[in-house]
């Protein structure tokens, strides 16, 4: 009998470091270090991580707590700041006042009554997010999501992070090796050896010879050395849905040491894409993501430099770093005893910062359902593939929503995004339904949905979607107004009580945060 049918996978080999590799290692090692599982990370000294600035979702707080990291240590080591959502400038029509927020906090009273219908009928002159949530007002004032006395990872307002991805990978590496018993090998993988059944048996390395394992996690980035190259699992390309395939990225110094740190990612629409702007304690990360079919590199750089001039007061900028990518995801993510996590599993574009969130989801799913034996692995692989195909499709639809709803008419980029042939069928159907009612939890029935119905509401009504929610007799206008008043009351209380981001981060650097 094949010994692989008897033994629980004890040797987990992760190929590739960076945020995806080391985060996967940390989650699995933290969960299974007492169960005899040995996690090994092979990271090539010849391959540098992409290392541009990254945004996370609030889920990262739970993940960092899970792996035993102190929040104050993470914030300081990773040049990290607080993120409370996203602001979209110029996405509706590019005219005056074209700006709205997608905050991390759910609308006050979400699910208790139809907030959308009562907003439309009684308060339509107020931006939806500004009426139903206190968080846009915190972002507008540059406020932090907690106080100095708030324990680590706890929140007054829900938050994620902006961080330096290169420093984050290095921080996780140190934690994994020193605290979680992860074995680190600096070497280059030259080949893959399969066993008679077709599983990966071992990896051939330049300096360490053959490295055997039971489960291999491919974190080799867009090369997808194991899943894509060895197993030949193709990429399901999505450029016909979401056109962006290139980015120009720069790092900008602040004018002075006291410059405010933004509380949100700002996404500013351009003729053939959009520009991201994130604030870290020591610098800003700015980049233009665009469609090479609609815009030349030279024109994209001109637009990026114009944005920098307008927002940075003439800071001297080095040549931007060009990053090209093919939007899409793998046809399968788990093949035999190999599973891809991070860029090796796919990438769409940085809008709404789903990349690290999908890494978290994948690593947690692997760790929570670590196969008991080789036969069980095939069952888990099928379930994993179904779950993550669904999640990638939901990400694509949610990102497409931003473009479909735009009324911009200044370029083919925006007009082409509204062509029916480029819109996924499920999204077309939902938009038809939402012309008569607001998005609800019933539209997203799976446990662990990537984006909740509230996020769809924030985008739809921030983008001035012309659907009219039907008032039902069971929905109380008085109850809706009560929640609107609660959001306004919370805003009045929080604004004077919360520090600005830079003040709180400086305090944390000196004194840390209280333990829970």
> How far apart are alpha carbons 291 and 285 in whole angstroms?
20
Cα–Cα nearest to 74, from 56, 101, 90, 88: 56
List, in order, residues 6 or more apart from 393 with CB less than 8 Å away.
Answer: 424, 426
**Cα–Cα distance for residue pair 337/227, rounded to 1 Å:** 10
Catalytic: 179?
Answer: no
Check whether 19 is labelled as a binding-site residue.
yes
Instruction: Yes or no: say if 154 and 516 are a contact pair by the CB < 8 Å rule.
Output: yes
Q: How far apart are CA 516 and CA 498, in angstroms?
A: 19
Rounded to an integer, what distance in angstroms lies between the CA atom of residue 30 and that of residue 478? 48
Is the CB of residue 200 less than 8 Å from the CB of residue 209?
A: no
Instruction: Consult the annotation and say whether 17 binds a ligand.
Output: yes
Q: How far apart are CA 151 and CA 291, in angstroms?
A: 43
Tokens of 379: 């069952």
Would the annotation count 343 as a binding residue?
A: yes
- Residue 18 assigned as binding residue: yes
What is the dihedral sign for C-alpha 431, 435, 438, 441?
Answer: negative
Question: Could you tell me the sign of the dihedral formed by the alpha carbons of 120, 123, 126, 131, in that order?
Answer: negative
3-state secondary structure of 91: coil
Task: Please check if 20 is assigned to a binding site.
Answer: yes
Consult the annotation and say whether 189 binds a ligand.
yes
Q: How far apart are CA 434 and CA 431, in angstroms?
A: 5
- Both tokens of 499, joined, read 């520090």
CA–CA dist 285, 164 (Å, integer): 9
232 labeled part of a ligand binding site: no
Q: Which of 345, 373, 369, 372 is nearest to 357 (CA)?
A: 345
Q: Which helix (H) or strand (E) holds 135?
A: helix 135-140
| CB-based contact 39:80 (threshold 8 Å) | no
**Catalytic member of 8, 83, 179, 237:** 83
DSSP bridge partners of 247: 289, 323
Residue 139 · residue 101 · CB < 8 Å: yes
Alpha-carbon distances, residue 33 vs 43, 151, 215, 361 (angstroms): 21, 27, 16, 20
Q: Which residues participate in catalysis according to the annotation?
A: 83
- Which residues are known binding-site members for 7-chloro-L-tryptophan? 83
- Which residues are known binding-site members? 17-20, 83, 189, 343, 352
- Which residues are known binding-site members for FAD? 17-20, 189, 343
- Which residues are known binding-site members for L-tryptophan? 352
């Amino acid at each position: 009998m094949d010994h692989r049918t008897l033994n629980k996978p004890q040797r987990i080999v992760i190929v590739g470091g960076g945020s995806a590799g080391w985060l996967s290692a940390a989650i699995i090692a933290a969960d299974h270090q007492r169960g005899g599982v040995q996690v090994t990370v092979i990271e090539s000294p010849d391959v540098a991580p992409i290392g541009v600035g990254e945004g996370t979702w609030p889920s990262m707080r739970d993940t960092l707590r899970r792996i035993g990291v102190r929040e104050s240590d993470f914030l300081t080591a990773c040049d990290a700041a607080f993120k409370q959502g996203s602001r979209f400038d110029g996405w509706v029509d590019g005219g005056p006042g074209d700006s709205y927020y997608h905050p991390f906090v759910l609308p006050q009273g979400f699910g208790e009554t139809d907030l959308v219908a009562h907003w439309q009928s009684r308060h339509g002159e107020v931006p939806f997010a500004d009426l139903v949530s206190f968080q846009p007002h915190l972002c507008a004032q540059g406020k932090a999501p907690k106080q100095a006395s708030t324990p680590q990872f706890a929140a007054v307002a829900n938050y994620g992070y902006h961080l330096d991805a290169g420093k984050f990978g290095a921080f996780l590496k140190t934690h994994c090796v020193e605290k979680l018993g992860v074995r680190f090998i600096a070497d280059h993988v030259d080949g893959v050896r399969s066993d008679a059944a077709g599983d990966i048996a071992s990896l051939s390395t330049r300096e360490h010879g053959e490295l055997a394992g039971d489960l291999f996690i491919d974190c080799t980035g867009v090369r997808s050395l194991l899943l894509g190259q060895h197993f030949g699992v193709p990429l399901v390309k999505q450029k016909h849905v979401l056109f962006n395939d290139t980015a120009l990225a720069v790092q900008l110094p602040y004018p002075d040491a006291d410059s405010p740190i933004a509380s949100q990612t700002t996404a500013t629409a351009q003729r053939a894409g959009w520009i991201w702007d994130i604030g870290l304690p020591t610098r800003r990360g700015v980049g233009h993501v665009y469609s090479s079919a609609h815009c030349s590199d030279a024109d994209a750089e001109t637009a990026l430099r114009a944005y920098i001039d307008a927002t940075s007061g003439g800071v001297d900028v080095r040549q931007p770093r060009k990053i090209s990518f093919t939007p899409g995801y793998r046809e399968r993510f788990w093949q035999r005893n190999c599973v891809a996590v991070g860029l090796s599993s796919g990438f769409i574009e940085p809008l709404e910062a789903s990349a690290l969130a999908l890494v978290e989801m994948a690593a947690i799913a692997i760790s929570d359902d670590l196969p008991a034996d080789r036969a069980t692995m095939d069952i888990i692989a099928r379930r994993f593939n179904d779950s993550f195909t669904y999640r990638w499709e939901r990400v694509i639809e949610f990102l497409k929503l931003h473009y479909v709803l735009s009324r911009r008419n200044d370029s083919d980029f925006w007009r082409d995004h509204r062509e029916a042939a480029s819109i996924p069928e499920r999204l077309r159907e939902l938009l038809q339904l939402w012309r008569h009612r607001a998005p609800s939890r019933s539209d997203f029935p799976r446990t662990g949905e990537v984006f909740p119905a509230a996020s769809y509401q924030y985008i739809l009504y921030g983008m001035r979607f012309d659907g009219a929610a039907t008032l039902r007799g069971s929905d109380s206008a008085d109850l809706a107004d009560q929640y609107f008043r609660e959001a306004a009351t919370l805003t009045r209380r929080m604004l004077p009580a919360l520090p600005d981001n830079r003040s709180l981060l400086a305090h944390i650097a000196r004194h840390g945060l209280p333990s829970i």
